[in-house]
Amino acid sequence: MLAVQQLEAGYGESVILRGVTLQVRPGQVVCLLGRNGVGKTTLMKSIMGVLKARKGTVSYKGDDLTRRAPGQRAKKGIGYVPQGREVFAQLTVFENVLLGLEASGSKTRVIPDAAIAKFPVLPAMYDRRGGDLSGGQQQQLAFARALASEPDLLLLDEPCEGIQPSIVDDIRDVIRAIKADGKTSILLAEQSLEFVKSVGDYFYILEKGAVAWEGGLADLNDEVIRQYLTV
């Protein structure tokens, strides 16, 4: 459903992605691995359209989205939980979730149960400002904001970064529940190998701005980890 072909992207003079090709199939949790700075976030931004591709294509459900704006990609069914969460600190929790709903082009102000059911603590905080929430609560809010548009592809950029272990377990449960529902595919960039192995179906490792390795869980052995992931 998501197909990235020979994607090139970067910032100013610097080229970061040098021909990335990957796919996410319906219902899969696909994980993006690689050492710090290899370009995982840059790839996520390019798929969402926050960063323009210089070459190559991003297509989704058969449509070429490469030149489409992020809002159009959201309307097509792509949800995004960016690295660092990017919760709007001055807006209330409810307004933050509503932004996700509006991104999908919805005219209603009714948050779908599916967005909130997995985060039962959030409704009680609807009137609080996003900036007053803890890091873990903000991550849950960022998830709910992305799920409000009922996406069929969710991009998760390092959702466990800086999050306490109990909330990491909650995030793992949410990813497993989304996977069990079978309606939403996930592309997950994450540093924790233990975490990705516990949820992932298929794995891509980036190196020098391109895919250096790909395979299933059984193939992700110690030799691969030593070669591409050990610092």
Residue 73, sorted as left (phi over 0), alpha (psi -120 to 50) or beta, turns out to be alpha
Answer yes or no: are the C-beta atoms of 160 and 83 closer than 8 Å: no
Minimum distance, C-beta of residue 16 to ligand ATP, in the bound complex (Å) = 5
Q: 16 vs 93, which CB is nearer to ligand ATP?
A: 16
Residue 12 Cβ, how far from ligand ATP at the closest point, in Å?
A: 6
Structure tokens at 228: 């591409």
Shortest distance (Å) from residue 6 CB to ligand ATP: 18
Measured from the CB of residue 211, what is the shortest distance to ligand ATP in angstroms? 13
Supply the Cα-derived Rg of the chain in whole angstroms: 17
Interface residues with ligand ATP (CB under 6 A) are: 11, 14, 16, 34, 36-42, 191
Least CB distance to ligand ATP at residue 192 (A): 11
CA–CA distances in Å: residue 205 to residues 65, 133, 170, 227, 230: 24, 33, 25, 11, 12
Q: 41 vs 104, which CB is nearer to ligand ATP?
A: 41
Instruction: Give the contacts of 194 (CB within 8 A, at least 6 positions apart).
Output: none
Nearer to ligand ATP, 8 or 150 (CB): 8
| Residue closer to ligand ATP, measured from CB, 1 or 15 | 15
Please report how close the Cβ of residue 172 comes to ligand ATP at its closest, in angstroms: 19
Q: Which is nearer to ligand ATP, 43 or 98 (CB)?
A: 43
Pairing of strands 202-207, 29-33: parallel
Beta pairing partners, 214: 204
Closer residue to ligand ATP, CB minimum distance, 157 or 170: 157
- CB half-sphere exposure, 81, CA atoms < 13 A: 29
> 109, 98 in Cβ contact below 8 A?
yes
Q: How far is CA 109 from the centre of its chain?
A: 24
